[in-house]
Structure 1
Amino acid sequence: MKKVSLALLSSFTAYSIFASAVGASSISDANISAEMLETRVEQLAQTDFNNYVSINEFESELSSFLNNVVLVKEYQYFTPEEVEKWEILSSNFQAIQSSIAPAQTASTASLNAAVNNTYPNLQRDIEGAIVTSKYGAVVLAGVYVATDRANEEQQVYKNRYGFTTTQENEVDAFRHFSWNYHLTDTITITRGAATFIADNHEFSAFGVRYAENNFPTATAATKLAQGIYYTNKVKGETNTASKFKSLFVNSNFMDFNNNEAGRAYESKGYKDNYEAFAAAKSNGHVTTSPSQWTSSKLSSRAYDIYSGAFKY
């Protein structure tokens, strides 16, 4: 087993330059994310890997295998050699997740219960494997920084304003807004990548349901492969407004809108995500209830955001 050297994390070079430039005294949102990212990258550097000399080698292998095998055919059509390769790759990916992944959220737990999930972190792992193969493990660490910050701040917001629930209301809107705000202020993640990551999250629920409902007794590696395949399949087939609107419901459309608002408002010069959210809410750019707008307006705005036709 080999440990990843920090020197081999070439994608972390940008962070090192940034940290030196801003200095330890800065308390900006970006620097908070940067400090949390540094901790996760240090955890990543201690990850034990089998079969790979460096994390860069693993990322390259994972990306190639997902693009050429997992995303194009279901697990039952893998060759014996591909099955063996996927077992190795998925095992090493789990090592990454064990090092840097946050605990599952309430929304993920709800989805798990809905499909009688025997793989409690399946949605997280579907999303994480796709992100790692496309952008690398350091970006995945940045995703988890943003996730932790948004989940913690959701509780602060809930308590501060006296809410009793966190689903399909203003607190839920704040969490989605903040997650995307922090995705964008985490220095390893561009706005384009943040959009991909947030959309990937919405579509991964289809992968979870497909894997759990159709392969309930399969191995973890099998379910992960099937979930990745189906997530990508559904997303690839969602290329018209009618298809998009038939897949999702108002609460999802609400999420697409609030995700985009968070990404947009990160660059508008507000002190932090709380101030930015208040401004977006005042400007009518966040939806705090699935019934705040008409279904037609909400679904159309969500599709325009997804298709790239609309940005705040």
Structure 2
Amino acid sequence: MTNKKEKPPVPERLPAPVVDAHTHLDACGAATAADVSAMVDRAEAAGVTRVVTVADDLDAARWAAQASTWDPRVFGAVAIHPTRTKEFGATERSEIERLSRQERVVAVGETGLDYYWDYSPHDAQQEAFRWHIDLAKRVGKPLMIHDRDAHEDVLRILAEEGAPEDVIFHCFSGDAEIARRCVAAGYVLSFAGTVTFRNAKELQEAARLVPSGQFLVETDAPFLTPHPFRGRPNEPFCTAYTVRYLAELREQSVEEVASAACRNAERVFRLPSVTTS
């Protein structure tokens, strides 16, 4: 019997490097610089050579910004998650803006709207989302969006505010029609382990149609572990499982999918390019 608390095995190394565009190293259990490096070592063994560790509250934002300085393979993203915007005042705004300007913080996120959980009023979420959109434009960094059961309002607010140059839909959860609208607007769709789930037919249809220049791959670890390990703890190395699944789904080689996702991450996050070792 499989132990649900046991991590999946580290898969064979990908034929081309890839970036985990959205993970939560602290939630995966990392606390120290040694923890972070050990976690990224496991990822690199699978071909996942860099990661973006993402904040969802103020403490996590401070940690992500600090962790991004501990290992050259780690970058940060900072924001207040929409489910935590019930109280979003001057302290939060000032600190997130300060952290977002740090060199190794490469995105403003995750921000957006979450209508699934009833933790923050919709009007508070929308106000915070508008503020984060403006911040991304002011600091010149990509906007990383959390969109759960709120597609129409997310797209409407982006249009009303004027989207930043680069917009990433983290853990894209829409169908093909929403994907087409995002692609037409120039947004980038990031696919997590959810695309591998057996019941994710609409999401899989969306993943097939996204152009090679407009997708990323991510884990959202420790959540959303790819099939067939769903329910077990996720880590950045599991990005490799999603890459292989997307290659089969999109009828491309694994190297083509990994290389495209890596190029897109380097472009969107302004990362230096790397070559396969």
Considering fraction of residues, name the structure with more strand. 2
Q: Shared fold by TM > 0.5?
A: no
Place the TM-score, normalised by the shorter chain, in its bin: under 0.3
Q: TM-score, normalized by length of structure 1? A: 0.25
Which of the two has higher C-alpha Rg?
1
